Amino acid sequence: MRIVVISATSAIARACISKWADSADHEFLLVGRSAVKLKAIEADYSLRFPSSKFSSLAIDLNSVSDISSLTESLARKPVDLALVAQGSLTEQSQASSELGYLEQQLELNVISAGLFTESLAGLFDRQGFGTLGVIGSVAGDRGRAYNYSYGAAKAFLATYTEGLQQRFSGSKVRVCLIKPGPTATPMTSAHQGKMADPADVAAVIVAGLARGKRVIYAPKLWRIIMLAVRSIPFAIFKRLNF
Amino acid sequence: MKLTSFGRMQVEASSLVAPAWMSAVDAKAFGERYLPIGMGKSYGDVGLSTGSIAVSSLGLNRFLAFDAATGVLVCEPGVLLRDIQSAFVKLGWMLHVTPGTSLVSVGGAVANDVHGKDHHLAGTFGEHVLGFSLLRSDGQVLECSALENAGFFRATIGGLGLTGFITSVTLQLKKVAGPYFDTEVIPYTNLGEFFELSNETEAAGWQASVSWFDCSTSKAGRGSFTRGNVSARAYDAASEPKGLGISVPFTPPISLINKLTLDVFNAGYFRLQKAGAGKREMHYKEFYYPLDGVGNWNRIYGPRGFFQYQSVIPMEHAGGATEEMLSIIKRSGQGSFLAVLKTFADRKPAGLLSFARGGVTLALDFPNRGDKTEKLMQSLDRIVLETGGALNPSKDGRMSREMFEAGFPGLEEFKQYRDPAAVSDFSKRVID
């Protein structure tokens, strides 16, 4: 497959790339902001998975012209799968006290993610096929005092992808919304057992994308947890502290 | 921030710093007291530091460069040995030296100068380290090799993380035909036979050897000897073994290794080894890492955890001292399930504090039964001290300062390369 990963340096994206390359030979384009980090992961993947092909491209993730020219250049050769993985875990107290910070966060989590989603959906539309995975979050399922700035940005992607899913119904384009639960970063992984391992999350994502699932909860348990959380009446929900 | 060692000792670190990118590694974040950490597979307290900042290498887990002509690999310190083996064996290269688990980081392997089944031919891990970059708490970055900053180089290999934080490592890999080993398992009935087998194995040029022996209370002394050579068969993706995928799901309230079960386990294991005796081909994962297939196996020792006691005794005393240690263990009624016996060749150690040295090494696991266990280990200590031996710091959580000083004559020289801010509970106990 030809796979394009946007924000390829993020932890979940990296775990997905490993999972894909581990199971078969693919051609990857790794897109991100930092050329240094992209080169580091490109070198690493090329050594780990010598029979897959890796290249990288550093662009401004918030620039309409960079995004458009990327999509144009991609059109030269069919893309089978694209993953939109950018996202920054917004610190709620800072977002509430500092509008400049909130603006930066929304630019990445909403505007950049939305622009890539639309642009790549257009590419797949013209190609007539392709699978687009967009990383949302379980945090988008319900607004909580603890993280609503982040949750609302992820809820934007939920509605956006739902619209795309309706637009492409009956076609060979699949749009999948991915909702990871709290996932361990290198900061916590080996030392705390509570959060999901990125490799396990990636395995669920990769399998879900292969089947073109509309909504992928990862780990799968979150589908049931969030079903329960969504069904709590607000009168009770407002009193909960989680 | 709670940190747990492999033997299930627990301490509170003040916080955890875990840079995910090389560009984010900053000595300012080390604070006044820190300790570099990796996979936490050291049994005791060399990887624990109460109240200090734990600086994890695990986010730095990338291969940086590889020269397919010479087998020289440059990688970040959090790369696991597992990943080096599985990625490069396909290209015909493997690590020269690996311990009995592949789930350790390269940084940890350097800091503990680990050894494995190939010691008589390949020495320790540190002998195949060509160089590394060392970040000190004052922000200085030292490029270290046998030629450059050679003192820091020898102090850091086996230096238990006390000389600074390693940011990248250059390793020499070994050319191999493929991932398979031609192995032979030979049961034996007493220690004399073990020493004969060891000598014969070394003389015949076998590349790797190790021995398990029964250290329960009744039939102590019998065991099985395993040896292997890299086979001529090349890598073949289709015959890669699948992991066992089993794991000990939780910590049982008491140790499953106890007086009642020990004889049964040992007898069962001996029968298993006997049934598997003879020659056959093994994948390296089975040959080197039989326990990696069982997740969290250390939980079987229950919430109080266990001690590993690994000694090395100079060859001239090896037979007598080992017999004596076995009889002490027998009398104590606290046998060991995983008892491992192996000879080390007489080689120049790679590091100032390297543990591996000429002699015979004995590794024993004892469930932690408090005072009783400590008393048993103290009586073993006496034999180790009297014969001029040493205990392995990576396995230790209780040796005395006297014991450490006696076993590690390079300590005084080591001290001049110490990073003053790098501290572990081990260093507080026996060095500082």
Beta strand residue intervals within B112-164, DSSP E = 129-135, 141-145
Q: A10, A22, A39, A44: which to substitute to probe chain B, counting the most B Cβ within 10 Å?
A: A44
Locate CATH 3.30.70.2520 in chain B. 180-402
C-alpha to C-alpha distance for A151 and A179, rounded to whole angstroms:
11
C-alpha to C-alpha distance for B15 and B169, rounded to whole angstroms:
25
Residue B218: predicted pLDDT: 64
B230-267 in b/e form (b: 16+ CB < 10 A) is: bbeeeeeeeeeeeeeeeeeeebeeebbbeeeebeebbe
Residue B290: predicted pLDDT: 83
Q: Poorest-confidence range of A79-88, A231-240, B37-46, B403-412?
A: A231-240
Among candidates B22, B23, B63 on the partner chain, residue whose Cβ is nearest the Cβ of A47: B63
Residue A133: predicted pLDDT: 98
Instruction: Kindly indicate the confidence band of residue A193, based on its pLDDT and cuts at 50, 70 and 90.
Output: low
Instruction: Kindly indicate the confidence band of residue A110, based on its pLDDT and cuts at 50, 70 and 90.
Output: very high
C-alpha to C-alpha distance for B232 and B236, rounded to whole angstroms:
12
Mean pLDDT of all residues in A131-140: 96
Among candidates B16, B19, B87 on the partner chain, residue whose Cβ is nearest the Cβ of A47: B87
Place of tokens 């039989």: B290
Mean pLDDT of all residues in A28-44: 97
A37 contact residues in B (CB cutoff 8 A): 21, 23
- Is CATH 3.30.465.10 the right assignment for the domain spanning B63-176? yes
The answer to whether the beta carbons of residues A131 and A176 sit under 8 Å apart is yes
Which range has highest mean pLDDT (A25-34, A188-197, B247-256)?
A25-34
B320-355 pLDDT, tens digit each: 999 899 889 888 888 777 788 999 999 999 999 999
Listed in sequence order, the residues at least 6 apart from B290 whose beta carbon sits closer than 8 Å to its beta carbon are: B100
Q: Which residues of A touch B (CB under 8 A)?
A: 11, 36-37, 40-41, 43-44, 47-48, 50, 185-191
The answer to whether the beta carbons of residues B404 and B160 sit under 8 Å apart is no
Locate CATH 3.30.465.10 in chain B. 63-176
B16-28 in b/e form (b: 16+ CB < 10 A) is: bbbbbbbeebebe
B136-146 in b/e form (b: 16+ CB < 10 A) is: bbeeeebebee
Active site includes A101?
no
Q: Do A50 and B16 touch (CB under 8 A)?
A: no
The answer to whether the beta carbons of residues B141 and B126 sit under 8 Å apart is no
Two tokens, residue A219: 């780990």
The distance of A49 to chain B (nearest Cα, Å) reads: 7
What mean pLDDT value characterizes chain A?
A: 93
CATH number of the domain located at residue range(s) B180-402 in this protein: 3.30.70.2520
The distance of A41 to chain B (nearest Cα, Å) reads: 7
Q: Would you give the end-to-end CA distance of chain A in angstroms?
A: 41
Please indicate if any CB of chain A lies within 8 Å of the CB of B66: yes
What is the CA angle B56-B61-B67, rounded to 5?
Answer: 140
Q: Do A186 and B20 touch (CB under 8 A)?
A: yes
Residue B293: predicted pLDDT: 77
Q: Do A189 and B23 touch (CB under 8 A)?
A: no
Please indicate if any CB of chain A lies within 8 Å of the CB of B429: no
Mean pLDDT of all residues in B369-394: 95
Q: Which CATH class is domain A2-237?
A: alpha beta
Please indicate if any CB of chain A lies within 8 Å of the CB of B91: yes
B54 contact residues in A (CB cutoff 8 A): 191
Cross-strand bridge partners of residue A30: A5, A56
A47-77 pLDDT, tens digit each: 999 999 999 999 999 999 999 999 999 999 9
- Residue A210: how many other CB atoms lie within 10 Å: 15
Residue B239: predicted pLDDT: 76
* Angstrom distances, CA of residue B258 to CA of A163, A222, B266, B303, B375: 62, 40, 12, 13, 17
Q: A30, A187, A191: which to substitute to probe chain B, counting the most B Cβ within 10 Å?
A: A191
Q: Do B62 and A50 touch (CB under 8 A)?
A: no
Cα B27 versus chain centre, distance: 28
The answer to whether the beta carbons of residues A35 and A24 sit under 8 Å apart is no
B window 3-42, beta carbon within 8 A of A: 3, 16, 18-23, 39-40
B20 contact residues in A (CB cutoff 8 A): 11, 185-187
Q: Is the per-residue pLDDT at A189 higher than 60? A: no
Mean pLDDT of all residues in B254-281: 81
Mean pLDDT of all residues in B142-151: 98
The distance of B402 to chain A (nearest Cα, Å) reads: 33
Q: Is the per-residue pLDDT at B191 higher than 90? A: no
The SS3 of residue A154 is helix
Instruction: Kindly indicate the confidence band of residue A191, based on its pLDDT and cuts at 50, 70 and 90.
Output: very low
Cα B180 versus chain centre, distance: 22
Listed in sequence order, the residues at least 6 apart from B298 whose beta carbon sits closer than 8 Å to its beta carbon are: B6, B7, B8, B305, B306
- Residue B96: how many other CB atoms lie within 10 Å: 20
The distance of A83 to chain B (nearest Cα, Å) reads: 21
Instruction: Answer yes or no: is the ipTM higher than 0.90.
Output: no
The distance of A210 to chain B (nearest Cα, Å) reads: 23
Q: Is the per-residue pLDDT at A121 higher than 90? A: yes
Q: A10, A48, A183: which to substitute to probe chain B, counting the most B Cβ within 10 Å?
A: A48
Residue A219 preceded by cis peptide, ω within 30 = yes
What mean pLDDT value characterizes chain B?
A: 92
Q: Is the per-residue pLDDT at B282 higher than 50? A: yes
B23 contact residues in A (CB cutoff 8 A): 36-37
Q: Is the per-residue pLDDT at B281 higher than 50? A: yes
Q: Is the per-residue pLDDT at B105 higher than 80? A: yes
Q: Is the per-residue pLDDT at B403 higher than 50? A: yes
The answer to whether the beta carbons of residues B143 and B133 sit under 8 Å apart is yes
Q: Do A48 and B83 touch (CB under 8 A)?
A: yes
The distance of B87 to chain A (nearest Cα, Å) reads: 5
Residue of A nearest to B57 (CA): A186
The answer to whether the beta carbons of residues B135 and B164 sit under 8 Å apart is yes
The answer to whether the beta carbons of residues B44 and B32 sit under 8 Å apart is no
B120-134 pLDDT, tens digit each: 899 999 999 999 999
Question: What does the CA dihedral A54, A55, A61, A66 come to, rounded to 10 degrees?
Answer: -140
- Residue B188: how many other CB atoms lie within 10 Å: 18
Q: Is the per-residue pLDDT at A151 higher than 80? A: yes
Mean pLDDT of all residues in B211-218: 77
Instruction: Kindly indicate the confidence band of residue B253, based on its pLDDT and cuts at 50, 70 and 90.
Output: confident
Residue B217: predicted pLDDT: 58
How big, in percent rounded to 5, are the helix, strand and coil portions of chain A?
50, 20, 30
Residue A190: predicted pLDDT: 46
Mean pLDDT of all residues in B136-164: 98
* Angstrom distances, CA of residue B294 to CA of B286, B299, B300, B305: 12, 11, 11, 17
B348-364 pLDDT, tens digit each: 999 999 999 999 999 99
A48 contact residues in B (CB cutoff 8 A): 63, 83, 87
One-letter identity of residue A171: S
Residue of A nearest to B18 (CA): A187
B6-15 pLDDT, tens digit each: 888 889 888 8
Listed in sequence order, the residues at least 6 apart from B363 whose beta carbon sits closer than 8 Å to its beta carbon are: B308, B309, B310, B338, B339, B340, B341, B392, B395
Of A33, A44, A43, A45, which is closest to residue A9 (Cα–Cα)? A33
One-letter identity of residue B225: F
